[in-house]
Structure 1
Amino acid sequence: MKSMKRIVFLALGYPDVRKSTILYTDLMQEFAKQGHEVLVVAPAIQKNDYGCRIEGNVNVLRVRTLPLFKVGPIKKGIANMLLPFQYKKAIKKHSNKFDYDLIIMPTPPITLVKVASWIKRKSEGKIYLILRDIFPQNAVDLRMMKENGFLHRFFRKQEHLLYKVSDAIGCMSEANVSYVQEHNPEVPPEKLHLLPNWEKIPESLSEIEKSEVVEKYDLNNKFVAIFGGNLGRPQKLENIVELAKNCTEYKDILFLILGSGTEEGKLRGLISKFDLSNMLLINRLPKKEYIQVLAAADVGLISLSEDFTIPNFPSKVLTYFGLKKPVLASLDLSTDFGQMLEKTKSGLWSEAGNTMDFKKNLEYLYNNQAERELMGENGYEYMSSHLTPDIAYKTIIEKINRNIEA
């Protein structure tokens, strides 16, 4: 078995771990903890703050890029197209040694395949792909790209190349594995395997911390259904707006939305238009306070657009599980996320767009505290045994070594 000593991770978003963490910071910290030498290549967080430094216990090379987030689709597309050239230039400047054993890259974006292939040629390392967004099909589903148009054909070629150069591909769910196999029959089945999302289980909060956040956001005597994370088109937040519109008779139910994104302005407009006093939108919070607010909730909300033909698996559920919150989901029929909730008995789901079923499930959770608590415990147990960074680390290492030996 080859030793995967030196790791390079090509990231699109990678916060400073002193201020915030995401699944990829957790994973790279785990690699470092297990004795690997890790280099993360990621966009600079602040202007003129470029170069390599230690963040947590890994080396992070911050690269000068165009804005990648909170910009329109054209600017975002240009920024992503330039990304491989900017990364390649920064890596060359950082070091002329190319002795990486493992190159890890997630999607999005798929444009970094050029950088990954270049490092692979120079170092003879292996590429492990963490497949999270199946692009460009997700853009077609959301009508952000025309099927079989120039851009779709271009990015589809990039996608084919990505699967070809990858030595192993980790998919979020079994439905993702099946989707890739069905739509890309040229991909050897032995490359594909299950790599669920992961997250560190949050530390327990004191009663004082819980009471502070309850007072700050006036959550006393409220049944709080919370949605935390990105506010974008994939999340189809209109589903939650419709639910709130149909629950106004419950004066103690509050729909609390935490986050930011491209649909934030639209969401604020809908809340104002329908005068939804039972909906509260709070902008993105520091991770610690975000956890505190989530901990004060009764139910964690998931919403996905019914237009998806690709199976998505929302990562925000991990924080809900870690805080023992039952899940209430509105889902498209392409995902197997609902089947996971059923199997683990950790929540309820309905088809996206079916507001009456969505409301019926909410009412069941509202009226059954014991069931809420049991579902919360079930989700926590499932996360503890399947969805933590150390489990993801072992899955990646075992799969890449198995493929090398084969």
Structure 2
Amino acid sequence: MKILFLSLINIKSIEEKGIYTDLIRQFVNGGHQIYVVTPFEKKLKKQTQYVIENDVHFLKVRIGNITQNNIIEKGISTLMIEGQYLKAIEKYFKDVKFDFIIYSTPPITFEKVIRYIKKRDNAKSYLLLKDIFPQNAVDLNMFHNKGLFYKYFRRKEERLYKISDFIGCMSQANVDFILKHNPNIDPLKVEICPNGIEILSIENDKSRLKEIIKKHNIPTDKTKFIYGGNIGKPQGIDFLIQCLKSNKNNDCVFFIIAGSGTEFKKLHHYFEREKPINAKLIEELPREEYELLVDCCDVGLIFLDHRFTIPNFPSRLLSYMKASMPVLAATDIHTDIGRVIEQGEFGLWCESKNVEQFNEKLKQLENPELRDKMGGNARLYLENYYTAKHSYEIITSHFK
């Protein structure tokens, strides 16, 4: 089949590791022809281009800046993406007849593109629901649910759900939320299609791990807790800082924060001001180096703002599980990631506004025997439920 894959992730190569590239490779291995539309942000200073790499057709569309910029520029750029993608597809894929369209949120502004392809090619469509917008912005007080912005984006969201033949959600809480707040959706087209990655054999190069430990000056005699990924408003960075402050005299633990995002400066200011001796802040690393850094640590951290009413399910969980690490999640009460972690017995959970509870869980995970047991459970759970092959089989079941 000819499959169109729409994404706002800047996919540079099919060989990259990640939830989308790993899934795309499954389709390629399954004998399908894949056409990927991915963005070139304006700041990269590149024009739209069409290339074929490893049998995958890449249409890289020049768009405005949508990452690590102010909310006004991001908003304007997001509104323009739909038209820019549609124009590029009409130009470069005018003679390609697609059988299936796969796309993810964010953004919710692909509705016209999908409608165009469905009508032109009589194609089926599958939404990978990774983000519930605009409600997440309302939760974080970015705008009000009575305002024009909310009403505009809410209509776009409703149209996207309506035009999608299938909607794959990351967890049961996501399924329940979507059906509760969108009663017009046919429940039969909504299913769980979790984040998944390609599972590789664990081959830790001890010499490279020693290099990473030396490069970042990481102690080897403490329990090392790592947070990696986006450092933005959804992560509730104020609570993370409270947790660091409350443990500044804890000689048994060491915190590593590695990533980038709109709230990175806030964390950087804290580290500059307080100079914690048991914590280290590292700006975004190349993926391979980051994964080696994870392999050097003992516990993976997940943070979500306590104000969320939507059930987020961060994909960074997978890198921790792949490294056979237990997870400590501090989140809102609406996501079910904590229930999944605790029921799978590969980590602990607390609400992300209770520092005392966080420290209790932290103390439990200083126990190496508990970490070993939970780490083994994490890897096993990943292999059983969160592989790219699993996601591929869920999606392709609708082809038959």
Report the TM range for the smaller structure's normalisation: over 0.9
Confirm or deny that 1:41 pairs with 2:40: no
Q: Aligned partners of 1:221 and 1:56: how far apart in 2? A: 45
Partner of 1:153: 151
> Which secondary structure does the structure 2 equivalent of 1:313 belong to?
coil
Within a 5 Å distance, the mapping from 1:175-190 to structure 2 comes to 175-190=173-188
Deviations 1:102-149 (A, max 9, x none): 011100000111111111110100110000100100010011121121
Kindly tell me: are residues 214 and 332 of structure 1, through their superposed partners in 2, closer, same or farther at Cα, counting changes over 3 Å?
same
| Contact in 1 for aligned 2:14/2:56 (Cα 8 Å) | no
Q: Provide TM-score, normalisation by structure 2.
A: 0.96
Counterpart CA distance in 2 for 1:306 and 1:73 is 21
CA contact (8 A) 2:14 2:21 kept: no
Residue 26 of structure 1: aligned partner? 22
Render the CA deviation track for 1:175-234: whole Å, top value 9, x for unaligned.
100001100000000010001111123542211121111111122323211000000100
Task: Please say if residues 14 and 24 of structure 1, whose CA atoms lie closer than 8 Å, have aligned partners that are also in contact.
Answer: no
Instruction: Identify if the C-alpha distance between structure 1 residues 178 and 230 changes in structure 2 by more than 3 Å, giving closer, same or farther.
Output: same
Contact 1:14 1:25 in 2 (8 A): no
SS in 1 for 2:365: helix
1:17 aligns with 2:17: no
Contact 1:142 1:233 in 2 (8 A): yes
Query: Residue 71 of structure 1 aligns with which residue?
Result: 69
- Compared CA separation, residues 14 and 24, structure 1 to 2 (3 A): farther
SS at match of 1:64: strand
Percent same amino acid at aligned positions? Answer: 38
Cα root mean square deviation, aligned: 1.4
Secondary structure of 1:186's counterpart equals: coil
**C-alpha separation in 2, matches of 1:253 and 1:137:** 36
Structure 1: runs of 5 or more not aligned = none
* Structure 1 counterpart of 2:163: 165
Partner amino acid, structure 1, of 2:123? G
Asked if 2 retains the 8 angstrom alpha-carbon contact of 1:29 and 1:56, the reply is no
Report the equivalent of 1:317: 317
Indicate the residue corresponding to 2:98 in structure 1: 100
1:80 positional shift: 0.9
Deviation at 1:18, TM superposition (A): 6.7
Partner of 1:394: 393
Change (3 A) 1:190 1:19: closer
Tell me whether 1:204 sits opposite 2:203 in the alignment.
Answer: yes
Q: For 1:4-403, what aligned pairs fall within 5 Å after superposition?
A: 5-17=1-13, 20-44=16-40, 46-202=44-200, 203-219=202-218, 220-366=220-366, 368-398=367-397, 400-401=398-399
CA distance in 1, matches of 2:293, 2:385: 25
With over 3 angstroms needed to count, the CA separation of the structure-2 counterparts of 1:169 and 1:356, relative to structure 1, is: same
CA contact (8 A) 1:20 1:286 kept: no
Give the counterpart letter for 1:141 in structure 2. Answer: D
Q: Which amino acid aligns with 2:384?
A: S
- Structure 2 vs 1, CA of residues 56 and 235 (structure 1 numbering), >3 Å: closer, same or farther? farther
Note if contact 1:29-1:58 (Cα within 8 Å) is conserved in structure 2: no
TM-score, structure 1 length as denominator? 0.94
Contact 1:301-1:327 within 8 A present in 2 as well = yes
The superposition leaves residues 275-316 of structure 1 with CA deviations (integer Å, 9 ceiling, x where unpaired) of 323221111111110110000001100000000001111110
| Structure 1 residue 374: Cα displacement | 0.8
Q: Does 316-325 or 114-123 show the bigger shift?
A: 114-123
Shift of residue 393, structure 1, vs aligned partner:
0.4
Q: CA deviation at 1:271?
A: 2.5
Q: Please give the per-residue CA displacement for 1:80-110, whole angstroms capped at 9, x wherever unaligned.
A: 1111111111112113224111011100000
Give the Cα separation in 2 of the matches to 1:297 and 1:133.
28
**Count of paired positions:** 396
- Mapped partners of 1:206, 1:175: distance in 2: 38
